[in-house]
């Protein structure tokens, strides 16, 4: 038995097709992500640009580089582990998030205060000839 074609069945079929395409696209892999990660190391800054006891945020790369002690450089994700905001400042030995005031250690990314549940993940960097490079 075949059902008659009505406006309702056409709209429902169209909606289901659109939803299926959207879900497939959202769940698929992105060539842009793999291309970005395989593009190789990225120079971030000169060592002289990172203050001792402080750091610098590279929002476009979602990374923060710190210098806890002279000549010691660390890098962490700049995305707060609480709700995904980008951290906004590095002052007084802490990396701070503007959304809910979480604070993280410049030494190891550990949570110093706030609602953030986890430390900032470390990022791989290299320091060579006065240049800090994101691996």
Which backbone phi and psi does 50 adopt, to 5 degrees? -105, 110
pTM (two decimals) = 0.71
- Among 90, 40, 84, smallest CA distance to 75 is for 90
Report pLDDT for 3: 58
Domain definitions of the chain by residue range: 7-37, 42-134
- Among 100, 126, 99, 102, smallest CA distance to 114 is for 102
User: For residue 108, what are its two tokens?
Assistant: 């190891």
Q: Where residue 6 falls among pLDDT bands split at 50, 70, 90?
A: confident
Report pLDDT for 40: 79
Report pLDDT for 18: 57
What tens digit of pLDDT does each residue of 67-124 get? 999 999 999 999 999 999 999 999 999 999 999 999 999 999 999 999 999 999 999 9
The CATH number assigned to the domain with range 42-134 reads: 2.102.10.10
User: For residue 15, what are its two tokens?
Assistant: 């909606």
């Amino acid at each position: 038995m075949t059902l008659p074609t009505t406006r309702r069945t056409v709209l429902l079929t169209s909606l289901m097709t659109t939803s299926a395409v959207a879900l497939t696209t959202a769940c698929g892999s992105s060539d842009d992500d793999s291309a970005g990660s395989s593009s190789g190391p990225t120079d971030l800054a000169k060592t002289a640009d990172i203050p001792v006891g402080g750091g610098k945020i590279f929002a476009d790369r979602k990374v923060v580089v710190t210098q806890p002690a002279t000549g010691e450089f660390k890098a962490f994700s700049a995305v707060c582990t609480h709700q995904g905001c980008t951290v906004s400042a590095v002052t007084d030995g802490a990396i701070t998030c503007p959304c809910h005031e979480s604070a993280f250690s410049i030494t190891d990314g550990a949570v110093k205060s706030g609602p953030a549940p986890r430390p900032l993940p470390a990022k791989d960097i290299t320091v060579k000839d006065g240049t800090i490079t994101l691996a």
